[in-house]
C-alpha cells in the first residue's frame, strides 16, 4: 500500500504537488531577491505588517516564533506583525494605533486573492499606506499571490506593487517554502538559506520508497494504525513554548488535509509543562481516545543553570548541577513514560537542534507524512471543500443584512 501510494505521489504531476521538489529546485536567484527585499525592509521600516490567513500566514508565523527571541526581536530582523486572520475591529484598530510613530512595510499574501479576511485587512492597509506615504506607498507594499490569476494579482499589476509568486501547483498549507513563508521570516531575521537547505535534505531523504528507510512514511503508518485501532485524537506535544505556533501550522496541515468524508484524526496540541497542569489529568486518566506525538529538539540555543543557594529552604539544591533544558528533557522522558504506562501511545520525534536547518527538515517531513497519511485514509490531501460552507453562509448573511438595512 505504502509503495503504491509513494509511486502515485511521486508520479502525479498534477496541480497540487509543486511543493514536493520545491526545496531541491529553489534557485539562489529567488532566495537572493527575497533577501534583498528583506534587507530593504530592515533598512526602511520598523515593522513589517503581514496580511494573510491559513496557509498564507501560519507557516511564517510558526518559523518566526520558533527561531526569534522570546523577548524583543531578532538582532538581524524587524518586528513582523500579522493581520487578516480574524475580523476583530478591536484588533485592527489597536494595530493601527500601535503603528503611529513607526515606519512600516506591508506584505499582503493570498493565493486566491479573494479570501475575505485578508482582503478586508488589505483594503484598510492600502488606504492607510497611501495616506501616510502618498506616492511612496507603492514601494512599501509587496504582494505575494498566484502567478497567473486572481483579484490581488490584478490589483498589484494596476497599482505597480512589487510581486512575489506562489506557484500555481502549490496549495496554501504546502506553501511555506515559497515567498509566502520566506519573505516574512527573512524580514524577521531568520536564515532562509539554511531553512531551504534543511527542507532540501528532507526532500531527498524522504523520496525513499521503503517504509523502514522513510521516517515520514513510518510516522504516517503508525498514526494510521492507531486511527484504525479507534484512537480519535492526535496530540502534538512539545516542551519548548516557542513551538506553540508550529503546533498551529501542524494542526492546519493535518486537519485540512485529512478531515473529510467523516474521516481523520482530530489534530490537537499541548505545550508542556504548561498543559501538564491543565489538561494533563485528562491525558493520563481520562477517556482513552488520544495518543501523543512528542516533538523534541535536543539542543536549544539558550539555557540557564539552576543556581546553588546556601539557604536551600526550597530544598532544590539537588538540582543545582543541572540546567533548565536538562531538567526539561528529563521531564519529557518522565511524561512519556507516565502517559504510555497509563495507556496513551506515545510517538517520539527527535531532532538535533532548534535552528532553521532542522526546522526546514521537520516541516517538509510533516508535509510528506501528511500526504501519505491522507492517501492511506483514502482522502484527497489537497482540497478543503468543507471550508467553503462557512464562507457561503457568511456571505449570504452579509448580503441579507445589507439588504434589510437598505429597506
Report the candidate in 188, 153, 180 with the shortest Cα–Cα distance to residue 73: 188
Applying CB under 6 A, does 163 fall inside the site for ligand PA5? no
Query: Which of these is catalytic: 263, 391, 393, 401?
Result: 391
Q: What grid cell was written down for 6?
A: 509513494
C-alpha distances (whole Å) from 190 to each of 12, 206, 277, 278, 360 are: 33, 24, 32, 32, 11
Query: For the chain, how big is the Rg over CA atoms in Å?
Result: 23
First to last CA, the chain: 60
Interaction residues for ligand PA5, span 51-80 (CB under 6 A)? 53-56
Residue closer to ligand PA5 (CB basis): 54 or 264: 54
Cβ of residue 152: shortest distance to ligand PA5, in angstroms? 8
* Residue 169 in contact with ligand PA5, rule: CB under 6 A: no
**Which of 35, 118, 259, 345 forms a contact with ligand PA5 (CB under 6 A)?**
118
SS3 240: coil
CB nearer to ligand PA5: give 143 or 344: 143
Helix axes 58-67, 179-187, angle to 10 degrees: 30
* Choices 170-178, 222-230, 235-243, 334-342 (CB under 6 A): range interacting with ligand PA5: 170-178
Q: How far apart are CA 363 and CA 70, in angstroms?
A: 21
The residue at minimum Cβ distance from ligand PA5 is 172
- Binding part of the chain for ligand PA5, among 4-12, 111-119, 283-291, 308-316 by CB under 6 A, reads 111-119
- Comparison of 291 and 375: residue with beta carbon closer to ligand PA5: 375
- Listing DSSP states for 186-217 in one string gives HHTT--HHHHHHHHHHHHHHTT--SGGG-HHH
Residues 15-54 contacting ligand PA5, CB under 6 A:
53-54
- In the list 173, 200, 224, 332, the residue contacting ligand PA5 (rule: CB under 6 A) is 173
83 in Cβ contact with 51 (< 8 Å): yes
- In the complex with ligand PA5, the residue whose CB is nearer, 42 or 173, is 173
The mark string for 272-311 relative to ligand PA5 (x by CB under 6 A, - otherwise) is: ----------------------------------------
Spot the catalytic one: 234, 256, 258, 292.
256
Angle between helices 58-67 and 244-258 in degrees, nearest 10: 150
What does the buried/exposed string (b/e) look like for 82-108 if buried means 16 or more CB atoms within 10 Å of the residue's CB? Answer: bbbbeeeeeebeebeeebeeeebbbbb
CB of 52 or CB of 77, closer to ligand PA5: 52
Which of 23, 171, 181, 198 binds ligand PA5 (CB under 6 A)? It is 171
- What 3-state DSSP class applies to 310? coil
Q: How far is the CB of 146 from ligand PA5 (least distance, A)?
A: 8
Asked if 207 is an active-site residue, the reply is: no
Q: From CA 235, how far away is CA 334, in angstroms rounded?
A: 17
- Residue 110 as a binder of ligand PA5 (CB under 6 A): the answer is yes
Tell me if 57 sits within 8 A of 50, measured CB to CB.
Answer: yes
Give the nearest distance from C-beta 61 to ligand PA5 in angstroms.
13
Residues recorded for the chain:
407
195: its cell numbers: 531553512
Per CB under 6 A, 256 contacts ligand PA5: yes
Total of residues contacting ligand PA5 (CB under 6 A): 14
> What separation in angstroms does the CA of 246 have from each of 187, 190, 242, 281?
18, 15, 8, 24
- 115 contacts ligand PA5 (rule: CB under 6 A): yes
- Residue 172 touching ligand PA5 (CB under 6 A): yes
Asked whether position 107 contacts ligand PA5 by CB under 6 A, the answer is: no
CB of 109 to ligand PA5, least distance (A): 6
CB of 232 to ligand PA5, least distance (A): 23
Check if 256 is active-site.
yes
Which residues lie near ligand PA5 (CB under 6 A)? 53-56, 110-112, 115, 118, 171-173, 256, 384
The residues that are catalytic are: 256, 391
Amino acid at each position: 500500500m505504502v509503495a503504491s501510494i509513494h509511486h502515485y505521489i511521486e508520479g502525479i504531476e498534477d496541480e497540487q504537488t509543486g511543493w514536493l521538489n520545491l526545496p531541491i529546485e529553489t534557485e539562489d536567484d529567488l532566495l537572493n531577491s527575497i533577501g534583498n527585499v528583506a534587507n530593504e525592509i530592515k533598512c526602511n521600516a520598523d515593522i513589517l505588517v503581514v496580511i494573510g490567513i491559513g496557509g498564507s500566514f501560519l507557516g511564517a508565523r510558526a518559523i518566526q516564533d520558533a527561531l526569534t527571541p522570546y523577548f524583543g526581536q531578532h538582532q538581524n530582523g524587524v518586528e513582523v506583525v500579522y493581520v487578516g486572520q480574524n475580523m476583530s475591529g478591536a484588533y485592527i484598530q489597536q494595530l493601527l494605533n500601535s503603528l503611529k510613530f513607526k515606519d512600516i512595510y506591508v506584505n499582503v499574501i493570498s493565493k486566491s486573492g479573494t479570501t475575505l479576511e485578508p482582503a478586508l485587512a488589505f483594503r484598510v492597509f492600502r488606504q492607510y499606506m497611501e495616506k501616510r506615504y502618498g506616492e511612496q506607498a507603492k514601494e512599501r507594499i509587496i504582494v505575494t499571490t498566484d502567478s497567473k490569476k486572481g483579484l490581488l494579482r490584478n490589483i498589484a499589476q494596476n497599482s505597480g506593487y512589487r510581486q512575489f509568486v506562489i506557484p500555481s501547483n502549490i496549495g496554501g498549507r504546502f506553501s511555506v517554502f515559497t515567498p509566502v513563508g520566506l519573505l516574512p521570516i527573512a524580514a524577521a531575521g531568520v536564515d532562509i538559506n539554511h531553512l531551504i537547505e534543511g527542507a532540501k535534505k528532507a526532500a531527498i531523504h524522504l523520496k525513499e520508497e521503503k517504509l523502514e528507510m522513510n521516517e515520514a512514511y513510518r510516522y504516517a503508518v503508525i498514526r494510521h494504525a492507531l486511527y484504525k485501532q479507534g484512537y480519535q485524537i492526535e496530540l502534538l506535544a512539545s516542551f519548548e513554548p516557542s513551538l506553540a505556533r508550529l503546533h498551529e501550522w501542524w494542526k492546519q496541515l493535518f486537519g485540512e488535509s485529512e478531515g473529510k468524508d467523516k474521516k481523520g484524526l482530530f489534530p490537537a496540541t499541548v505545550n508542556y509543562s504548561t498543559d501538564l497542569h491543565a489538561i494533563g489529568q485528562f491525558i493520563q486518566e481520562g477517556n482513552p481516545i488520544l495518543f501523543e506525538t512528542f516533538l523534541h529538539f535536543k539542543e536549544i540555543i539558550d539555557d540557564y543553570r539552576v543556581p546553588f543557594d546556601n539557604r536551600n529552604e526550597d530544598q532544590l539544591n539537588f538540582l543545582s548541577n543541572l540546567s533548565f533544558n536538562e531538567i526539561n528533557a528529563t521531564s519529557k522522558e518522565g511524561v512519556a513514560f507516565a502517559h504510555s504506562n497509563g495507556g496513551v501511545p506515545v510517538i517520539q520525534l527527535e531532532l538535533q537542534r532548534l535552528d532553521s536547518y532542522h526546522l526546514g527538515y521537520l516541516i517538509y517531513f510533516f508535509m510528506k507524512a501528511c500526504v501519505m497519511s491522507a492517501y492511506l485514509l483514502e482522502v484527497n490531501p489537497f482540497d478543503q471543500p468543507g471550508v467553503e460552507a462557512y464562507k457561503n453562509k457568511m456571505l449570504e448573511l452579509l448580503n441579507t443584512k445589507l439588504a434589510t438595512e437598505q429597506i
